Amino acid sequence: MTTPRTEPELVVLLDASKAPCGVADKATVHTDKTPLHLAFSCYVVDSAGRVLVSRRALSKLTFPGVWTNSMCGHPGPGETPEEALVRRGAEELGMRREDFVSIECVLPTFEYRATDSNGVVEWEVCPVFVAQVAPDAHVEVVPDEVDAFTWVPAEQLIAGVQATPFAFSSWIGAQLSHDELRAALVRRV
């Protein structure tokens, strides 16, 4: 488990050409006028071909209680998306660096914009990763981040999101519409 943050978490703002152009406090950036910023999404998979699917904490500002991919986050200034992924693995799922066997960026230029029912906008350039974990990797969700989780076979997740997109986050549907991501999840079996 990680220690709680004492300083504000900063997100990297992006200009129209997707180049970094500043930083903002994460606590203030997500509004009805959210600026474009850098993020990442990650699908944690195990050696049996299962994907960890998480339900966002009910206390989250955006999309509370929604089922989605394993974890998401924002790289800080000077932090690579891979470094942020490992940090968020600890902050959301209680995972350690050594739990990750491999980390692969599958959709490096994925971008989305989604508005929650409360009017808060997510607008992110969001590289999408698949991270395989060791067989003995332990998940201990952090309640402020994750309400619940389950492991599902990749094919079932893909079929479930296609059949009932309203039950999942908008970004998981958009991400799983890409052949590259579906193939990366399924080939791990």
pLDDT tens column, 135-177: 999 899 999 999 999 999 999 999 999 999 999 999 999 999 9
Residues flagged as binding site for Mn(2+):
30, 37, 74, 122, 124
- Whether 72 sits among the annotated catalytic residues: the reply is yes
Confidence of residue 1 (pLDDT cuts 50, 70, 90): very low
Q: Are 74 and 26 in contact (CB under 8 A)?
A: yes
Q: Are 177 and 183 in contact (CB under 8 A)?
A: no
Instruction: Out of 42, 82, 91, 124, pick the active-site residue.
Output: 124
Q: Are 125 and 178 in contact (CB under 8 A)?
A: no
Please report, as a single letter, which amino acid is at residue 77. P
Residues flagged as binding site:
30, 37, 74, 92, 122, 124
Please report, as a single letter, which amino acid is at residue 173. G
Per-residue pLDDT tens for 103-120?
999 999 999 999 999 999
pLDDT score of 22 more than 70: yes
Cβ burial, residue 164 (10 Å; 0-12/13-18/19+): exposed
Please tell me the predicted confidence (pLDDT) of residue 181. Answer: 97
Q: What is the pTM of this model?
A: 0.93
Per-residue pLDDT tens for 78-96?
999 999 999 999 999 999 9
Per-residue pLDDT tens for 49-72?
999 999 999 999 889 999 999 999
Confidence of residue 8 (pLDDT cuts 50, 70, 90): confident
* 3-class secondary structure, 135: coil
- Whether 105 sits among the annotated catalytic residues: the reply is no
Whole-number average pLDDT of the chain: 94
Please tell me the predicted confidence (pLDDT) of residue 61. Answer: 87
Residue 15 zone, left/alpha/beta (φ > 0; ψ -120 to 50; rest): beta
Residues flagged as binding site for Mg(2+):
92
